Amino acid sequence: MGESEKIAKLGAGGISVDLPVMEGSVGPKVIDIRKLYGATDMFTYDPGFTSTASCESKITYIDGDEGVLLYRGYPIEELARHSDFEEVCYLLLYGELPNKTDREKFVRGITYHTMVHEQLREFFRGFRRDAHPMAIMCGVVGALSAFYHDSTDINDPHQRMVATHRLVAKMPTIAAMAYKYSTGQPFVYPRNDLSYAENFLHMMFAVPAEHYKIDPIMSRAMDRIFTLHADHEQNASTSTVRLAGSSGANPFACIAAGIACLWGPAHGGANEAVLLMLQEIGSKDRVAEYVKKAKNKDDNFRLMGFGHRVYKNYDPRAKVMQETCHEVLAALGKQDDPLLELAVELERIALEDDYFVEKKLYPNVDFYSGIILRAMGFPTSMFTVLFAVARTVGWVAQWNEMIEDPMQKIGRPRQLYTGAVRRSYVAMDKRN
What is the set of active-site residues? 308, 366
CB atoms within 10 A of CB 172: 27
In one letter, which amino acid is 340? L
CB atoms within 10 A of CB 27: 14
* Closest residue by Cα to residue 390 from 186, 92, 138: 92
Q: How far is the CB of 42 from ligand SDX (least distance, A)?
A: 25
Whole-number Å distance between alpha carbons of 118 and 99: 34
Give 252 or 263: the residue with its C-beta nearer to ligand SDX.
263
Nearest alpha-carbon partner for 222 in 176, 191, 267 = 176
Min dist CB 48 to ligand SDX, Å, is 6
Distance of closest approach, residue 85 Cβ to ligand SDX, in angstroms: 15
Quote the least distance from Cβ 160 to ligand SDX, whole Å. Answer: 23
The smaller minimum CB distance to ligand SDX, of residues 136 and 346, is found at: 346
Min. distance of Cβ 430 from ligand SDX in angstroms?
Answer: 45
Give Cβ neighbours of residue 165 (< 8 Å, ≥ 6 apart).
Answer: 109, 110, 113
Q: Min. distance of Cβ 301 from ligand SDX in angstroms? A: 8
| Distance in angstroms (rounded) separating the CA atoms of residues 236 and 78 | 26
Closer to ligand SDX by Cβ: residue 53 or 331? 53
Looking from the CA of 78 toward its CB, the CA atoms found within 13 Å total 9
Q: Residue 71 gets which letter from DSSP?
A: E
State which residue, 347 or 366, has the beta carbon closest to ligand SDX: 366
**Which one, 109 or 265, has the nearer CB to ligand SDX?**
265
Task: Write b or e for each residue in 227-257: b if 16 or more Cβ atoms lie within 10 A of its Cβ, otherwise e.
Answer: bbbbbbbbbbbbbbbbbbbbeebbbbbbbbb
Between 33 and 294, whose beta carbon lies closer to ligand SDX?
294
Minimum separation from the CB atom of position 222 to ligand SDX (A): 18
CB of 67 or CB of 190, closer to ligand SDX: 67
Residue nearest ligand SDX, CB atom distance: 307
What minimum distance in Å lies between the beta carbon of 240 and ligand SDX? 11
- Inter-residue long-range contacts of 42-49, CB under 8 Å, 24+ positions, other chains counted: 42/12, 42/13, 43/414, 43/415, 43/416, 45/416, 48/309, 49/239
Q: Alpha-carbon torsion 385, 386, 388, 393, what sign?
A: positive
Binding site for ligand SDX (CB under 6 A): 48, 232, 235, 266-268, 270, 294, 302-310, 359, 361, 364-366
Distance between CA atoms of 371 and 329, rounded to whole angstroms? 9
* 4/300 with CB nearer ligand SDX: 300
- Kindly list the strands in the beta sheet with 7-12, ordered across the sheet, starting from the edge strand earlier in the chain: 7-12, 15-22, 30-31
19 DSSP β-pair partners: 8
Sign of the Cα torsion 396, 398, 401, 407 reads negative
- The C-alpha atoms of residue 388 and residue 383 are separated, in whole angstroms, by 9
Q: Minimal distance in Å, beta carbon 103 to ligand SDX?
A: 25
Q: Which CB atom, from 137 or from 203, has the smaller least distance to ligand SDX?
A: 137
Q: Beta strand pairing status for 74-75 and 7-12?
A: unpaired
Within 10 angstroms of residue 269's Cβ, the number of other Cβ atoms is 19
